[in-house]
């Protein structure tokens, strides 16, 4: 397999992972807002969702910077 093709496949996989993370961010954010509105912002579940969202956002930013896609 040529190097160009391998790099193209690798890049496509990274872009798919980035798209997956974007969808996860939306889902987690929406759930966090719902839980926060019902249970309050200091609720254990709201805080756990917020922390999970932070981890996914960090991973997303890492992937984004690796791909140099703005």
Domains (range + CATH), the chain:
3-67 (4.10.280)
pLDDT of residue 68: 66
pLDDT of residue 34: 98
- Angle, in degrees to the nearest 10, between helices 44-67 and 3-39: 160
pLDDT of residue 54: 98
Q: Which residue has the tokens 């249970």?
A: 39
Considering the entire predicted model, what is its pTM?
0.78
For every residue of 26-44, which 3-state class applies, written as one string?
A: HHHHHHHHHHHHHHCCCCH
């Amino acid at each position: 397999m040529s190097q160009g093709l391998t790099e193209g496949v690798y890049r496509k996989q990274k872009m798919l992972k980035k798209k997956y993370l974007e969808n996860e961010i939306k889902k987690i954010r929406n759930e966090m807002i719902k839980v926060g509105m019902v249970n309050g912002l200091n609720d254990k579940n709201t805080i756990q969702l917020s922390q999970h969202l932070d981890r996914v956002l960090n991973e997303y930013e890492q992937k984004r910077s690796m791909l140099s896609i703005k």
